[in-house]
Amino acid sequence: MTENSIAVLPFVNLSADVENEYFSDGLTEEIINALAKIDSLKVTSRTSAFFFKGKDVQITQISKQLNVAILLEGSVRLSGKAVRITAQLIQAEGDFHLWSETWDRQLDDIFAVQDEISLLIAEKLREQVGHFEINEHLVNTQTKDLDAYTLFLKGRYYFNRWNPEDVQQAIEYYQQALTIDPKHANSLVGLADSYSFLATCGFISYQEGWGKCAQLTQQALEIDNRLPAAYYQLANLAFFTEGDFSKALSLVECALDINPNHVESLQLICLLCLYADKEDTARQHLDAVRSVDPMSAETQFYRGYFYYMQRDFDQAIVQLDACLDQNPKSIPSHTIKAACLLMLARFDQVITYYDSLPLEIVIPAEKIGSELLAFVLKSDQKQADEYLAKLQRAINSEDGFTADVYLFLYYCQTSQVDAAFRWIEQATENRSPLLLIRYADPLVDSLRSDARYTTFQQKLFPPEAFNSSNTSRKKKSLLDEKSLTNYRKRLLSHIESEKPYLDSDLSLRSLANQIDIHPNQLSWLLNESLGSNFNEFINHYRVETFKKLAKDPDNAHVTILGLAYDSGFNSKTVFNTYFKKEVGMTPKQFLKA
């Protein structure tokens, strides 16, 4: 578990109107998005954080399941345009409160409030766990119209339910928001996401859905070019409508440069690496996905798909079933599970697999194609011929590209190598995304020994596309050697002469102001030069002060807690924790000794 890790749990809606749930959820998500922009800070995704909404689970258990050191929880009370927000940081180990705050504000400045809260949380987190850089602002003003923002929050609330009926409701809210403020970039991206979701799941035509997605995403970027969700959509468009692997990889990396914790982009880059047969790189991205989104059904799917591409089909089924337990209507999970059953020679199960699923999630071409391959591998020539004819008819129908890729897999499984490569050549010219998805698939393994396979692989997945991918960024020095030496002397001199640690409200930012240094530079100096985070550094001096005060006979009448407060501590729990950490015994044991 890394110390630089936090989960923002869903803020509790304390408003009289339960319909205000969208607002408390929206505030939670905005704080998650704001903190996720900070490099070197691991922030649990919305999906996994909201997994615990309404559940009575202990903080220590949540921390263990999410693999985070710090949790933030809070509440929202909305009344008219007045809002009261409370938040508290909790260290999971020991389950004690590090900090809490309450804000009474008006909704007219909601973005300023979100920024204020996010910045303060980031500051307090940095003081506790160590160095990372914080920008001057983490939340930008999305719109000047509160009604447009409220409708956007309602749209996102319904979109996050991930089913066609609620997504249609989300579209209505997004459209209403854009009627009020046509330049609200987040509503444009939300609308684009809704149309791409409906198109991908087959609830509207592929061309219509992705066409609207492209138009709306471009409009959003013209308004705000720092939206990771927009670059994520562009990456999807590059892959699914242009069949351009290199462009998709480059665009998803743009999204991750803006927000290193953007879970959808982490998921997509993992898939792209698997498609390109880059297993080691895919594993690194999968680890990142599991780190920020461990509880979601989607993460279980990506783990299952990873095992499938590793040719560990039994383990793949275990993970896919875990996904389907959470989301029985996960179409990709059913597709890959059927492929696993094929590879495990469980042909009869494949033949009946789709019959037990709800009709609305069965893609006819997937059913026909899977059953065709099962009959082929079962050596049932009569049924194979019958299903091949069905597949040919499906290819000639509207949206026949899904059926067409099963013809390619049929060639691979029937050792028609030349026909398979002719299909690849044609699909390459047509820039088929399904070719990119299936090229490294286990069902295509029979082609790998042919020299033509490597030639096409390098054409489809150019090696140079990965030149900038997965490069680790070296931490930059925020102070040169001369400045570091000067500021270190200034800091230590100020600590000795002015004793700022006696102020219980001292913060890293206020100490930075006292010695005229940027807070990011002071944080870096403490971490890199003195080997401490802010709290460790300051509380060391407070502990030493307590020891001196406790040894003074004139203070014999003062309680231990009183001496702790006189030393600069403002919390009994924090005092006891740091004292035992520094001295190796409790304050009482120290006094007796």
List CB contacts of 100: < 8 A, sequence separation 6 or more: 86, 87, 88, 89
Name the β-bridge partners of 97.
90
SS (H, E, C) 385-442: HHHHHHHHHHHCCCCCHHHHHHHHHHHHHCCCHHHHHHHHHHHHHCCCHHHHHHCCCH
The ranges assigned to domains in the chain are 5-141, 363-462, 481-592
List CB contacts of 173: < 8 A, sequence separation 6 or more: 151, 152, 154, 155, 158
Q: For 330-368, give the DSSP string.
A: -HHHHHHHHHHHHHTT-HHHHHHHGGGS-GGG--HHHHH
Q: Residue 472's pLDDT is what?
A: 44
Say if CB 188 and CB 157 are below 8 A apart: no
Residue type for position 409: L
Give the alpha-carbon dihedral of 442, 444, 446, 450, to 10 degrees.
-120
- Tell the burial category of 383 from Cβ atoms under 10 Å away from its Cβ (0-12, 13-18, 19+): middle
Say if CB 12 and CB 85 are below 8 A apart: no
List CB contacts of 217: < 8 A, sequence separation 6 or more: 188, 189, 192, 230, 233, 234, 237
Q: Residue 114's pLDDT is what?
A: 86
Q: Tokens 């699909």, residue?
A: 427
Q: Residue 473's pLDDT is what?
A: 47
- Neighbouring CB atoms inside 10 A of 207's CB total 11
Residue 102 three-state SS: strand
Q: Tokens 């997945």, residue?
A: 461
Q: Tokens 């069902």, residue?
A: 443
Q: Vertex 534, ends 531 and 536: CA angle to 5°? A: 70
DSSP one-letter code for 476 = P
pLDDT per residue as tens, the chain (593 positions): 677 899 999 999 998 887 788 888 888 988 998 998 888 899 999 889 999 988 989 989 999 999 999 999 999 998 888 999 999 999 888 777 888 899 998 887 788 888 988 999 999 999 988 899 998 888 888 888 888 988 998 898 888 776 778 889 999 999 999 999 999 999 999 999 999 888 876 678 878 999 999 999 999 999 999 999 999 999 999 998 899 999 999 999 999 999 888 998 999 999 999 999 999 999 999 999 999 999 988 899 999 999 999 999 999 999 999 999 988 888 889 999 999 999 999 999 999 999 999 887 888 899 999 999 999 999 999 999 999 999 999 998 766 778 999 999 999 999 999 999 999 999 999 999 889 999 999 999 999 999 999 999 999 999 988 875 544 445 568 888 999 999 999 999 999 999 999 999 999 999 999 999 999 999 999 998 999 999 999 999 999 999 999 999 999 899 999 999 999 999 888 899 899 989 999 999 988 87
Residue 483 three-state SS: helix
Name the β-bridge partners of 84.
77, 104
| Of 249, 334, 322, 262, the residue nearest 293 (C-alpha) | 262
Say if CB 449 and CB 494 are below 8 A apart: no
Query: For residue 84, what is the enclosing H or E element?
Result: strand 82-91
Could you please state the CATH topology (level 3) that the domain comprising 481-592 is classified under: Arc Repressor Mutant, subunit A (1.10.10)
Query: For residue 20, what is the enclosing H or E element?
Result: none
Query: For residue 5, what is the enclosing H or E element?
Result: strand 5-8
Q: Residue 493's pLDDT is what?
A: 97
| Of 162, 135, 213, 130, the residue nearest 46 (C-alpha) | 162
- Tell the burial category of 251 from Cβ atoms under 10 Å away from its Cβ (0-12, 13-18, 19+): buried
> Cα(131)–Cα(519) distance, rounded to whole angstroms?
10
Residue type for position 522: L
Residue 99 three-state SS: strand
The separation between the first and the last C-alpha atoms of the chain, rounded to the nearest angstrom, is 36
344 φ, ψ to 5°?
A: -90, 5
DSSP one-letter code for 4 = S
| Of 404, 410, 446, 394, the residue nearest 426 (C-alpha) | 404
For residue 321, the Cα-to-chain-centroid distance in whole angstroms is 22
Name the β-bridge partners of 88.
73, 100
DSSP one-letter code for 64 = H
- Neighbouring CB atoms inside 10 A of 296's CB total 23
Say if CB 253 and CB 468 are below 8 A apart: yes
- Neighbouring CB atoms inside 10 A of 241's CB total 16
| Of 504, 505, 501, the residue nearest 492 (C-alpha) | 501
> Cα(71)–Cα(28) distance, rounded to whole angstroms?
12
Q: Residue 398's pLDDT is what?
A: 66
The answer to whether the Cα torsion of 511, 513, 516, 517 is positive or negative is positive
Query: For residue 461, what is the enclosing H or E element?
Result: none
Tokens of 471: 């490069």
List CB contacts of 67: < 8 A, sequence separation 6 or more: 1, 5, 291, 294
Could you please state the CATH topology (level 3) that the domain comprising 5-141 is classified under: Rossmann fold (3.40.50)
Say if CB 391 and CB 407 are below 8 A apart: yes
Q: Residue 129's pLDDT is what?
A: 86
For residue 323, the Cα-to-chain-centroid distance in whole angstroms is 17
DSSP one-letter code for 477 = P
Say if CB 361 and CB 331 are below 8 A apart: yes
